[in-house]
Amino acid sequence: MNAYLKFDPIQPLLSTGDEALSFFVHRDLLGEDPGPIQGLWSLPAVKKILKKQLPDGSWPRPGKASPAPINDGLIETWRQFRVLVQQYGLTRQHPQLDRAAQFVFACQQQAGDFRGFIGNQYATYYTGALLALLVKAGYVDEPPIHRAFQWLLEMRQDDGGWTIPILTLYYDWKTVIRLTGEPADPVEPDRSQPFSHNWTGMVLRAFAAHPQFRQMEETRRAAELLARRFFQKDVYTSYQSADYWLRFEYPFWWNNLVAALDTLAEIGLTRENESIQRALDWLVKHQEPSGLWKLSYSRAEEAEPVSRLMMQRKYWVSLAICRILKRFSI
């Protein structure tokens, strides 16, 4: 990896004093054995998150509750599940993570989706992203997992990708707000409308995480669709700007270039794909002299000051980029 980069990222990443970050640098970048990952589960940051967990396995929403039928508990559990799984490596072997997973499963509809993120409307993107975390945490062969994958396969657009079903009807914003803010029946998608790269990127994380579903022809097709959309505007107005490709965060939430490349590497796309190579070249070119990468290369955010929290996230994003470069043999 260092042979292709102008600046060494390893030493900056190891200089932070962040035990979890150092663990993954040694394991994923240097190929060393940092010991059992369970050693991270007792870190103060993990204890702080778990301390706020409710008896039903969820986390409370800070501040005023959302208007019904938004499921605040599901949304906050998604927020914390991301950190616990992606940043500290918790699995189903941890009793409190398992309790959180059981809460999520209780929010699953009979059809297979996790509902409550946008009222009673279908949230393909959150179902996929949350499913990816469950798989990474060790829930692989359970019936609810397979039911969720089957639902996602059935919710594809005709072109093989995904979007948010309610967007395919092109309702005005007032109608969208009404349908997501009331206990209305979910809107069925117009499958003839094009896929969204933003929401396809989030759904594909689940398929990339699963050893069986990542090998499907449908997964490969959607992955190639996603790669062809790098650096372009989305077809729908939600998160439409091409700048969203260049706004990074870790743990992953929205689709962006780093999150998408991480997914496509797991699915098995290689540098022979021209879009992949172009994206990798972009990352190499935009490394900073510090050895790290910025959180955002959006022109609208270039002048924003970097807080302590943002600096911490910058290290984690840089780790994610280094993992990607290594997976693609850069």
Cα–Cα distance between 260 and 263 in angstroms, integer? Answer: 5
pLDDT of residue 185: 86
Whether residue 49 is predicted with pLDDT greater than 80 in this model: the reply is: yes
Percent of the chain's residues with pLDDT above 70 = 96
Torsion, Cα of 38, 208, 314, 16 (10° steps)? 30
Note the pLDDT tens digit of each residue in 264-289.
999 999 999 999 999 999 999 999 99
If we measure between CA atoms, which residue out of 209, 252, 234, 247 comes closest to residue 87?
252
Asked whether the predicted pLDDT for residue 330 surpasses 80, the reply is no
Q: Given pLDDT bands bounded at 50, 70 and 90, which one contains residue 204?
A: very high
Q: pTM for the complete prediction?
A: 0.94
pLDDT at 175 over 60: yes
Under the phi-then-psi rule, with left for phi > 0, alpha for psi from -120 to 50, and beta for the rest, what region is 266?
Answer: alpha
Better pLDDT: 33 or 180: 33
Q: What pLDDT is attached to residue 182?
A: 76
Residue pair 20/43 in contact by the 8 Å Cβ criterion: yes
Poorest-confidence range of 32-41, 223-232, 300-309?
A: 300-309
**Residue 92: CB atoms within 10 Å:** 16
Residue 4: predicted pLDDT: 82
CA distance 14 to 10: 6
Using 50, 70 and 90 to split pLDDT, how confident is the model at 69?
Answer: confident
